[in-house]
Chains A and B, each alone.
Chain A
Amino acid sequence: MTAVLGKDLIGLEHLSPDQIRLVLDTAEPFKEVSERPIKKVPALRGKTIVNLFFEASTRTRISFEFAEKRLSADTVNVAASGSSVQKGETLVDTAKNLEAMRIDMVVIRHPSSGAAQFLGDRIRSNVVNAGDGQHEHPTQALLDLLTIRDRHGKIAGLKVCLVGDILHSRVARSNIWGLLKLGAEVGVCGPDTLMPRGIEELGVCRFRRIEEAIEWADVLNVLRLQLERMERGFIPSVREYYRVFGVTVERLDRASRDITIMHPGPMNRGVEIDSRVADGSHSVILAQVTNGVAVRMAVLYLLAGGRPELAVAANRAAAPE
């Protein structure tokens, strides 16, 4: 079955604006499923999905698993640590074995950039990238886009600034592609040590002071600062990072307009974001988590060959099991 997204969802770089809008639109009817007493529709009944996580993840894995179960798919979770066997070999063999078991989809999280595409190129099943190294995390960006659209009623023309460790962030890359394709202006803000080479050439504007970013943006998407970055010497201390780049109430109060605060989680409270901001009225952080399930349902549904115009009907047809 030819699906509108192609066989795999590896990243947003190679999706068209229409394809991205299609996922967001398809997610809308799926939001409601999670609000029902019986949170289940039969859209993927009989499909088998493997959640293959080579890297620790709680939120993304659970979000995918809920999305799968609410679509009535049969799911298996595999948590593989890449430590004992060489990662590459594990991946090839895993791919072959999964294929042999005639599964329908694989959701993969892997510490190496390109791992999702590697798998997708080698098996017939659909592959969904749940984060590959520092490359892309497309479903996170899609749920961020949906959340922005919910809050602002649009994406085109908005100013969205990603704050923090852009260099190591797959969330940042996917967000940059998705936002630019849907017509937003994109900014990045953080220390130069955490900015990848050539980032401006992607069409984003660069802020070195958080105050300027806050003044400019309609939306701040605050990225998690991995504490190991400090050990590796990218920043001298967490304390200084918070003083220079922390998103605090005081800084937001000085901004001339209302600003939406997002965070892909898990948060380091008091490192990149002030608790009062995370829990305050500007924050849509928990709405992001809620939307994550709906977006992932939409992605799985579309990859399985589901027709977007039937997504509403698919939900209505829900029968108690």
Chain B
Amino acid sequence: MRPLLLQGGRVIDPSRDFDRTADVLVQDGRIAALGAGLGAPDGVDVRDVRGKIVAPGLVDLHVHLREPGSEDVETIASGTRAAVAGGFTAVCAMPNTDPVTDNQAAVGFIVRQAARAGLARVYPIGAISVGQRGEHLSEFGEMVAAGVVAVSDDGRPVVSSHMMRTALEYARTFGVPVADHCEEPTLATGGVMHEGLVSTRLGLKGIPAAAEEIMVARDILLAGLTGGQLHLCHMSTRGSVDLIRRAKEQGLRVTAEVTPHHLALTDHACEGYDTHAKMNPPLREAADVAALRSALQQGVIDCIASDHAPHAYDAKEAAFDDAPFGVVGLETAFAVAHTELVGGGVLTLPELIARMSTAPAAVFGLPGGSLTPGAPADVVVLDITARWTVDAVNFHSKSRNTPFAGRTLTGRAVLTLVGGALVHEANGPTP
């Protein structure tokens, strides 16, 4: 692999509070040197990145790659292609595949498919319970040995409090967090959007904020009981933010993520029965969006995760009640977050990069999120002045179920390196 010199960019490395113009030399898959006016050794591939941002590759703790089981809507290859196009160098794959990723063999399959694709790093997440049925604990030990970085029954809540307690305790044995999809099922069943004035007007069954908050509160109590590491997936309500803030003040091992769509959209997006605004947890109210933004700014919520959830066109082309939950996000996550949060004065650019790279890497204890010399060269070059309009036809993902179609956003990944290999270079139309 030829050495690569990224010359003259604004280098932002939140892991070291580094933010200045510098060159970055990538050699043998690692960050070889970082500094002003680095010489170009013989045979080096020099890229002029003046006016661009050089940052650690983005890390996504929450994606659904749909392989095995639904290869028609996404594969590990197409999903990681979408990831690197969006500036992500590492993604964590949720286990709600078919069959469920609940054993070491299934984990090995994902690791091998990711290696074969050779794009973003894929860190599998193992199921908490066999078949995600909430009955028997999966074999965490073997799955961790096979490469799992966390356990989760995402897509479904862990209904039994006893199961959640056991999972937190048993996961602690192997040093991995338990990521929970917080949804109290008896309150949420049949709901298709946020319960509020909009659901009343549309005549759609709502999912009250309390359905999430009850489980957030329960999980926090169990984290306190067990000393286990709890990660709260896709937080959506201001009440959840208050609960997480208190848990952190108590020093509990609790982390949380929020999606770009929950930071950018409200339940009004469901008007006209747009099934691309149907996701779980549902889009909430403006006050929730405001609380989530300030929680992210304050670090109460640790990071942004896409909850990339591809679905077939036909499945979303249905009455609202009948459409599946979820939206794709890998190719719009940075641009949406940059436009809404940096453009909206919520975060500085280094803070945004921290929340999408350094912080999520730290939450699951992953390599990455840093440009320290010697670190693996997982790097993204961002053009934060690029304005582009979302057209799902241009996505690398196999699916197009985005709620942001037609939106004009600023910011995109122009170069993505994984382990020093150039895996994405923007040319031609942006997605």
Q: How far is the CB of B196 from chain A (nearest CB, A)?
A: 6
Bound: A104/B196 CA distance, A: 37
Bound: A12/B38 CA distance, A: 69
* Chain A residues, Cβ within 8 Å of B318: 86-89, 91-92, 118
Bound: A206/B169 CA distance, A: 49
* Chain A residues, Cβ within 8 Å of B145: none
Chain B CB within 8 A of A309 CB:
no
* Chain B residues, Cβ within 8 Å of A110: 319
**Are B201 and A133 touching (Cβ within 8 A)?**
no
Among B189-242, those with CB < 8 Å from A are 195-197, 199-206, 208
* Chain B residues, Cβ within 8 Å of A262: none
One of A134, A197, A199 near B203 (C-beta < 8 A): A134
Which residue of B has the minimal Cβ distance to A168?
Answer: B203
**Are B200 and A113 touching (Cβ within 8 A)?**
no
* Chain A residues, Cβ within 8 Å of B321: 87, 111-114, 133
Bound: A89/B315 CA distance, A: 8
Chain B CB within 8 A of A201 CB:
yes
Chain B CB within 8 A of A132 CB:
yes
* Chain B residues, Cβ within 8 Å of A92: 314, 317-318
* Chain A residues, Cβ within 8 Å of B319: 87-88, 91, 110, 112-115, 118
Given contacts A112-B319, A117-B272, A118-B273, contact A89 B314 (CB under 8 A): yes
* Chain A residues, Cβ within 8 Å of B272: 117
**Are A113 and B273 touching (Cβ within 8 A)?**
yes
**Are B320 and A112 touching (Cβ within 8 A)?**
yes
**Are B201 and A173 touching (Cβ within 8 A)?**
yes
**Are B204 and A113 touching (Cβ within 8 A)?**
yes
* Chain A residues, Cβ within 8 Å of B163: none
Chain A CB within 8 A of B322 CB:
yes
**Are A136 and B197 touching (Cβ within 8 A)?**
no
Q: How far is the CB of A92 from chain B (nearest CB, A)?
A: 6
Bound: A113/B319 CA distance, A: 8
**Are B322 and A197 touching (Cβ within 8 A)?**
no
Given contacts A92-B317, A201-B197, contact A113 B203 (CB under 8 A): yes
Chain B CB within 8 A of A198 CB:
yes
Bound: A201/B197 CA distance, A: 8
Q: How far is the CB of A45 from chain B (nearest CB, A)?
A: 33
Chain A CB within 8 A of B323 CB:
yes
Q: Mark A188-205, 1 if CB is under 8 A from B, else 0.
A: 000000001111011000
**Are A197 and B200 touching (Cβ within 8 A)?**
yes
* Chain B residues, Cβ within 8 Å of A197: 195-197, 199-200, 206, 208
Chain B CB within 8 A of A181 CB:
no
**Are A136 and B203 touching (Cβ within 8 A)?**
yes
Interface size class of B (residues with CB under 8 A): 20 to 34
Chain B CB within 8 A of A296 CB:
no
Chain B CB within 8 A of A70 CB:
no
**Are B273 and A88 touching (Cβ within 8 A)?**
no
Chain B CB within 8 A of A13 CB:
yes
Q: How far is the CB of A176 from chain B (nearest CB, A)?
A: 10
Chain B CB within 8 A of A170 CB:
yes
Chain B CB within 8 A of A135 CB:
yes
Q: Mark B276-307, 1 if CB is under 8 A from A, else 0.
A: 00000000000000000000000000000000
**Are A117 and B273 touching (Cβ within 8 A)?**
yes
Q: How far is the CB of A234 from chain B (nearest CB, A)?
A: 13
* Chain B residues, Cβ within 8 Å of A87: 318-319, 321-322
One of A89, A132, A136, A198 near B200 (C-beta < 8 A): A198
Given contacts A118-B273, A197-B196, A199-B200, contact A113 B320 (CB under 8 A): yes
Bound: A202/B314 CA distance, A: 35
Q: Mark A250-267, 1 if CB is under 8 A from B, else 0.
A: 000000000000000000
**Are A88 and B322 touching (Cβ within 8 A)?**
yes
**Are B322 and A112 touching (Cβ within 8 A)?**
yes
Among A96-136, those with CB < 8 Å from B are 110-115, 117-118, 132-136
Bound: A86/B323 CA distance, A: 10
* Chain B residues, Cβ within 8 Å of A196: 199-200
One of B196, B205, B317, B320 near A114 (C-beta < 8 A): B320
Bound: A157/B237 CA distance, A: 40
* Chain B residues, Cβ within 8 Å of A132: 203
Among A195-234, those with CB < 8 Å from B are 196-199, 201-202
Q: How far is the CB of B333 from chain A (nearest CB, A)?
A: 28
Bound: A87/B318 CA distance, A: 8
Q: How far is the CB of B201 from chain A (nearest CB, A)?
A: 7
**Are A135 and B322 touching (Cβ within 8 A)?**
no
**Are B317 and A13 touching (Cβ within 8 A)?**
no
* Chain B residues, Cβ within 8 Å of A91: 318-319
Bound: A133/B273 CA distance, A: 12
* Chain A residues, Cβ within 8 Å of B203: 113-114, 132-136, 170, 173
Given contacts A114-B202, A132-B203, contact A198 B197 (CB under 8 A): yes
* Chain A residues, Cβ within 8 Å of B201: 13, 173, 202
Given contacts A86-B322, A88-B322, A201-B197, contact A135 B202 (CB under 8 A): yes
* Chain A residues, Cβ within 8 Å of B208: 197
* Chain B residues, Cβ within 8 Å of A113: 202-204, 273, 319-321
* Chain A residues, Cβ within 8 Å of B273: 113-114, 117-118
Bound: A84/B48 CA distance, A: 60
Bound: A228/B203 CA distance, A: 18
Bound: A219/B394 CA distance, A: 57
Q: Mark B320-331, 1 if CB is under 8 A from A, else 0.
A: 111100000000
Q: How far is the CB of B211 from chain A (nearest CB, A)?
A: 13
* Chain A residues, Cβ within 8 Å of B206: 197
Add 13 more A-B contacts to A114-B320, A198-B197 (CB < 8 A): A87-B318, A110-B319, A112-B322, A113-B319, A114-B202, A114-B203, A170-B203, A173-B201, A197-B199, A197-B206, A198-B196, A198-B200, A202-B201
Closest 4 CB pairs of A and B: A88-B318, A114-B273, A135-B203, A134-B203
Can you list 21 A-B pairs with a CB-CB distance of less than 8 A?
A87-B318, A87-B321, A87-B322, A88-B315, A88-B322, A89-B314, A89-B318, A91-B319, A92-B317, A92-B318, A112-B321, A113-B273, A113-B319, A113-B320, A114-B319, A133-B203, A134-B205, A135-B203, A173-B203, A196-B200, A197-B200
